[in-house]
Amino acid sequence: MGIFEKVTKGLGLGKEMNIEEYMNSVEMENVDVLHQAADFYIKPVALESEADVHVIFDELKAKNIILLNVSPMQRQTNKLKQIIDNIKAHITKINGDIARIDNDKILLTPTKVKIVKSKGRK
């Protein structure tokens, strides 16, 4: 069971509801589910240019987790590889972590937050 399926099940959503449709409706209503500020956030960031790297580094410094969408730069493979190498070096320097979720998404964590990368644990 994938992470999105677990989240969907945890939210009480059945297969008949599209998770993207649900998330868009929540965003459209501007609903703050927790009704209070959090210490840290999981933030989606679209990598559209090299300038976005500074945004990523600032978010990691603020101890936020980044869900990085690299699809806007997929056609610029050399530039994308260079940027990802720069991000990896920074992640290593700050003792964070990085993991590929799929072809378009990469998970980045701040200092002292590690990603379990094995498929299953017993």
* Alpha-carbon separation of residue 65 from 21, 94, 97, 107 (angstroms): 23, 13, 10, 7
Are 22 and 49 in the same domain?
no
pTM of the full predicted structure?
Answer: 0.69
CATH value at residue 90: 3.30.110.150
Are 79 and 57 in the same domain?
yes
Residue 66 in domain = yes
Share of the chain above pLDDT 70, in %: 69
DSSP for 20-67, written as a single string = HHHHHHHHHHT--SSSS--SS-EEEEE--STTHHHHHHHHHHTT-EEE
Are 30 and 59 in the same domain?
no
Domain of residue 55: give its range.
38-115
Token pair, residue 44, equals 């989606």
Per-residue pLDDT tens over the stretch 38-51: 889 999 999 999 99
Residue 120 in domain = no
Q: How far apart are CA 116 and CA 122, in angstroms?
A: 13
Are 6 and 50 in the same domain?
no
Confidence of residue 90 (pLDDT cuts 50, 70, 90): very high
